[in-house]
Amino acid sequence: MKKIRISIIGFGVIGSGVAKVISKKRDYIKHRHGIDLELVGIGERNGGIACEDGVDPIEAYNLAKTKEMEKHPCWKEEMNGINVIREVNADIVVETTPTNIDSGEPGLSHMMTAFKNKRHVVTSNKGPLAVAYKELIKTAEENDVQFRFEASVGGAMPVFNLVRECLQANKILSIKGILNGTCNYILTRMSTEGMSYEHALSEAQELGIAETNPSYDVEGMDTACKLVILANEILGMDSTYKDVEIEGITGITIESLKLASDKGYTIKLIGEVEAEKLRVAPRLVPKDHPLAVGGTLNVMSLHTDLAGEITITGKGAGAIETSSSILSDVINIAKR
Ligand code: HSE
């Protein structure tokens, strides 16, 4: 049995969700893959937990839920994210701090510190990837560690691993899809229930899928970040967030959705990258088109030279769904 020690940096909805899923799936993963996942560190802004004999993931999850992490017997104020990464002997750092698309921080420093301390990194955090993709990949390579980020785009929907494993012989020519669950939810509720934009947005916030600042979702920035990550990793581009032409969904009215519907269309916020051009904008999509998925779903079509069009869909947000991709990356690294 191979033991893999994990530190989680950023113990909010996603980070604590990963702990919960580690607890739930630990026996299954031992049995199925011969890998024992042990949580040894948790880093937050105001302190953290370092315990090389193992932290009980459920105890930590419950304390995170009631915002009482400092009540954990091993909690130390000086053990913030950076110190946990440096000092706790973890094989893999799971970085799940909130996305910051301006500077990428604090995630960017966490990832760089992890690489320089020879730790592999798995993340769902889009910010660092959208502002410093090349630098991150280079630093991971220089330190001979792995860097995986399946959860950063499309939540549970596998795209990077799909391309890496199953489409290896293909050149990917373009990518197009719905990459933001919050916008898809709002547009779906407005169009099928006639619900107001404000009401639908507050429902999306209640579902816990919207960003802390929901303007990131509705103004298209979240989709743009994901598009940049896809363009760089899959199409080999060197783009940043600033290269994306962005229009969000705040101008879409119930009337325009109704008008589209009467003609057999729906309106979706589509991100697309083709011929080095990155664009996010509301688009008319025929109701029976594969991209016309509803609710919180994400969907992506990859245009490839050998396999033709490959379309994938799945839940693009949510702690448990995102943990599915994070653990897939963790297991992949452990197997290597
Ligand atoms: N706010 C994002 C969404 C979360 O709605 O898709 C997942 O990146």
The token pair at 312 is 């994938």
Closest by Cα among 153, 159, 152, 149 to 312: 159
Ligand 1 site, residue 180, Cβ cutoff 6 A: yes
Q: How far is the CA of 32 from the centre of ligand 1 (A)?
A: 30
- Per-residue model confidence (pLDDT) at position 276: 87
Residue 194 C-alpha from the chain's centroid:
30
**Is the same domain home to 303 and 184?**
yes
Does the pLDDT value for residue 2 go beyond 90?
yes
Amino acid at 38: E
Ligand 1, residue 211: give the atom nearest the CA.
Answer: 1
CA distances from 16 to 19, 49, 62, 260 (A): 5, 13, 9, 41
Residue 130, domain member (yes or no)? yes
**Is the same domain home to 116 and 171?**
no
Reported as a single tens digit per residue, the pLDDT across 201-248 is 999 999 989 988 999 999 999 999 999 999 999 999 999 888 999 999
Task: Enter the pTM of the model.
Answer: 0.95
Instruction: Using DSSP bridges, classify how beta strands 120-123 and 147-148 pair: parallel, antiparallel or unpaired.
Output: parallel
Q: How far is the CA of 303 from the centre of ligand 1 (A)?
A: 24
Ligand 1 site, residue 211, Cβ cutoff 6 A: yes
Residue 160, domain member (yes or no)? no
**Is the same domain home to 169 and 301?**
yes
**Is the same domain home to 328 and 273?**
no
Catalytic residue numbers?
226
Q: How far is the CA of 235 from the centre of ligand 1 (A)?
A: 22
User: Closest residue (by CA) to atom 7 of ligand 1?
Assistant: 317
Percent of the chain as helix, strand, coil, to the nearest 5: 45, 25, 30
| Tokens 């990550």, residue located | 229
Residues 183, 188, 189, 192, Cα dihedral to 10°: 160
The C-alpha atoms of residue 281 and residue 80 are separated, in whole angstroms, by 39
Q: Which domain holds residue 137?
A: 2-155+319-335
The C-alpha atoms of residue 241 and residue 46 are separated, in whole angstroms, by 29
Ligand 1 site, residue 151, Cβ cutoff 6 A: no
CA distances from 242 to 245, 272, 278 (A): 8, 15, 10
**Is the same domain home to 67 and 93?**
yes
Ligand 1 site, residue 42, Cβ cutoff 6 A: no
**Is the same domain home to 190 and 108?**
no
We report the CATH number of the domain holding residue 134 as 3.40.50.720
Tally of structural domains, the chain: 2
Ligand 1 site, residue 81, Cβ cutoff 6 A: no
**Is the same domain home to 140 and 231?**
no
**Is the same domain home to 145 and 174?**
no
**Residue 295, phi-psi category: left (phi > 0), alpha (psi -120 to 50), beta (remainder):** left
**Is the same domain home to 289 and 324?**
no
Q: Helix, strand, or coil here: 210?
A: coil
**Is the same domain home to 67 and 90?**
yes
pLDDT range class, residue 182, cuts 50, 70, 90: very high
Integer-rounded Cα Rg, in Å, for the chain is 20
Q: How far is the CA of 211 from the centre of ligand 1 (A)?
A: 6
Amino acid at 149: F
Residue 198, domain member (yes or no)? yes
We report the CATH number of the domain holding residue 273 as 3.30.360.10
- Per-residue model confidence (pLDDT) at position 33: 97
| Tokens 């990258």, residue located | 273
- Per-residue model confidence (pLDDT) at position 18: 98
Residue 141, domain member (yes or no)? yes
Q: Give percent of the chain above pLDDT 70.
A: 100
Reported as a single tens digit per residue, the pLDDT across 24-48 is 999 999 999 999 999 999 999 999 9
CA distances from 74 to 66, 87, 158, 203 (A): 17, 14, 36, 37
Widest distance between CA atoms in the chain: 62
**Is the same domain home to 220 and 236?**
yes
**Is the same domain home to 267 and 327?**
no
